[in-house]
């Protein structure tokens, strides 16, 4: 009789964090754990366990781990808590003799540069015309182009930041339609 699988398939391979740390001396503090789904990246991604806490009255497969996290070769500045994904059977313990070779970053791996974003951008065309019409009605200066202040959210790994007063941004946002997916829709539009 052939085997018939029922249910959702998964790409996880490994053990849950509780299975790993429950079998280690001192619950694996100081050891390196690797998540299998992150091994697809060329840069090393791993967790170095700092503290382990069992969770009372919750799923027995879950565990709270405080760890130093390195994702794609970048070390997080603060210790992270791993709890919500600890039940997934996707972790493997790195043998002690492989830890040093796995954790060293390769000098050939180029990390992304920090993106310096602009402080202001021009208003959209219709809003710009409304602002200029309002300035004309009030007798204000219409020669100065109106610009809006940009507000950016903080990223977790600090790869983007707002330009300072004396700094030139390396990323620019241009008004317009950009590169459309269907250029034939815009073929007969005349821009002024």
- Contacting residues for 94 by C-beta, under 8 A, at least 6 apart: 31, 32, 33, 34, 46, 102
Q: Is 112 helix (H, G, I), strand (E, B) or coil?
A: coil
- Average pLDDT, stretch 12-21? 89
pLDDT at 108 over 70: no
Q: How confident is the model at residue 107 (pLDDT cuts 50, 70, 90)?
A: very low
Q: Where are the domains of the chain?
A: 17-103, 115-174
Could you tell me how far CA 32 lies from the centroid of its own chain? 22
- Average pLDDT, stretch 136-145? 88
pLDDT in tens, 64-105: 999 999 888 888 888 999 988 888 889 999 999 988 888 886
What CA–CA distance (Å, rounded) separates 162 from 46? Answer: 30
User: What dihedral do alpha carbons 107, 108, 111, 113 form, nearest 10°?
Assistant: 100
What CA–CA distance (Å, rounded) separates 186 from 182? Answer: 8
Please give the share of the chain, as a percent, with pLDDT higher than 70. 91
CB atoms within 10 A of CB 182: 7
Check residue 106 and give its pLDDT. Answer: 52
Mark out the alpha helices in the chain (DSSP H runs).
Answer: 17-21, 96-103, 125-138
CATH topology of domain 17-103: SH3 type barrels. (2.30.30)
Distances (CA, A) of 34 to 8, 29, 163: 24, 14, 36
Q: Identify the CA nearest to 43 among candidates 113, 103, 115.
A: 103
Check residue 46 and give its pLDDT. Answer: 93
Q: How confident is the model at residue 5 (pLDDT cuts 50, 70, 90)?
A: confident
pLDDT in tens, 46-67: 999 999 988 877 777 889 999 9
What is this structure's pTM?
0.58
């Amino acid at each position: 009789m052939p085997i018939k699988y029922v249910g959702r398939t998964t790409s996880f391979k490994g053990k849950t964090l509780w299975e790993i740390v429950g079998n280690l001396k001192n619950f694996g503090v100081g050891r390196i754990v690797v998540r299998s789904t992150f091994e697809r990246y060329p840069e090393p991604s791993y967790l170095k366990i700092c503290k382990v806490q069992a969770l009372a009255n919750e799923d027995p497969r879950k565990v709270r781990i405080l760890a130093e996290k390195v994702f794609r070769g970048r070390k997080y500045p603060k210790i992270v808590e791993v709890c919500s994904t600890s039940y997934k059977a996707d972790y493997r313990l790195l043998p002690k003799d492989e830890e040093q070779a796995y954790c060293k970053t390769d000098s050939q791996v180029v990390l992304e540069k920090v993106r310096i974003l602009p402080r202001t951008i021009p208003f959209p065309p219709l809003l710009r015309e409304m602002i200029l019409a309002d300035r004309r009605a009030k007798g204000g200066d219409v020669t100065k182009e109106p610009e809006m202040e940009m507000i950016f959210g903080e990223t977790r790994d600090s790869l983007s930041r707002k330009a300072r007063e004396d700094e030139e941004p390396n990323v620019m946002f241009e008004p317009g339609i950009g590169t459309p997916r269907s250029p034939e829709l815009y073929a007969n539009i005349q821009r002024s």
